[in-house]
Amino acid sequence: MNKIEDYNKVLPVIELYTACQAEGTRAGMPTIVIRTTGCTHRCLFAGGGWCDSWYSSIHPEKGHITFNEIIKMYEDNPHIKEMMLTGGSPTMHPALVNSLSTFCHTNEIVMTIETEGSHEIITDHPIGLISLSPKFSNSIPVLGAITPQGAIVDERMIKQHNKFRLNYDAMAFNITNHTDYHIKPVINPIATPEVWLEILECLDKLEVPKHKVYIMPPGDTRERVILNYGPVMDFCRDNGYNFTGRPQIIAFDNARYV
């Protein structure tokens, strides 16, 4: 399998920083975040605004970080034994993902990868946690909407968003071939019950039990997230699903490197 050969080569990575993991099963743990650039999707969430890392997806920045810089980050923070690989779509960069899987295996680091499920993840060592966030119809950008940098949504952008959406074969492969997983849909089921029916269909197809589902309120700013917190928490309480917040947005609003 492909790996990174030159550790001084600039990677498609735009952010590298320490944080507390905010979402899902490993929430609260100190982690090192690696954010790749480039994405298969162009998410505009109903009631929640654009993707909260639009600078890695809708208007992707150029990478500027090397593998040696990632290694040094762990050398400088030996107490951290977690990695959060996020994006964008990290699975667009299979050599990087595989190299990081080897690095984590060698150094006893638990690797989490956040993915929408577009591609099968094939690595020399299984990934510790697949944090799977499939994109449903409430993520499709609306024709004529204005992006964060002022572009206008056209049919081409919508077609790109839908191209890899809900790749069930890839999602099933990733669930089966790695150590652990959870499903993390971004939705307010009370506000958009028709989308919740899509999610139920997805969970049924993938045979996902309720205890593996973490529902996350939509929102790209503190104000928008807070509006969705209460209804989503109530829904999880009443229907037996897990709630996962977005404390990084609550704490830091739309700041980067958090």
pLDDT, one tens digit per residue, over 78-104 is: 999 999 999 999 999 999 999 999 999
d(CA 42, CA 159): 10
Arithmetic mean of pLDDT, 131-148: 94
> How far is it, in rounded angstroms, from Cα 79 to Cα 30?
9
Is the CB of residue 8 less than 8 Å from the CB of residue 68? yes
Copy the structure tokens of residue 206.
Answer: 């993938």
For position 47, what pLDDT does the model report? 67
pTM value is: 0.94
User: Is 124 within 8 Å of 101 (Cβ atoms)?
Assistant: yes
Question: Domain extents for the chain?
Answer: 10-252
Task: Report which secondary-structure segment, H or E, holds 103.
Answer: helix 94-107
Interval 12-27 mean pLDDT:
96
CB-based contact 16:65 (threshold 8 Å): yes
Cα 172 versus chain centre, distance:
17
164-221 per-position pLDDT tens digit:
999 999 999 999 999 999 999 989 999 999 999 999 999 999 999 999 999 999 888 8
Q: Which two tokens stand for residue 60?
A: 């992707």
Contact 90, 36 (CB under 8 A): yes
Per-residue confidence (pLDDT) for residue 254, from 0 to 100: 84
Are the C-beta atoms of 123 and 27 separated by less than 8 Å? no
What pLDDT is recorded for position 255?
Answer: 84
Fold of 10-252: TIM Barrel (3.20.20)
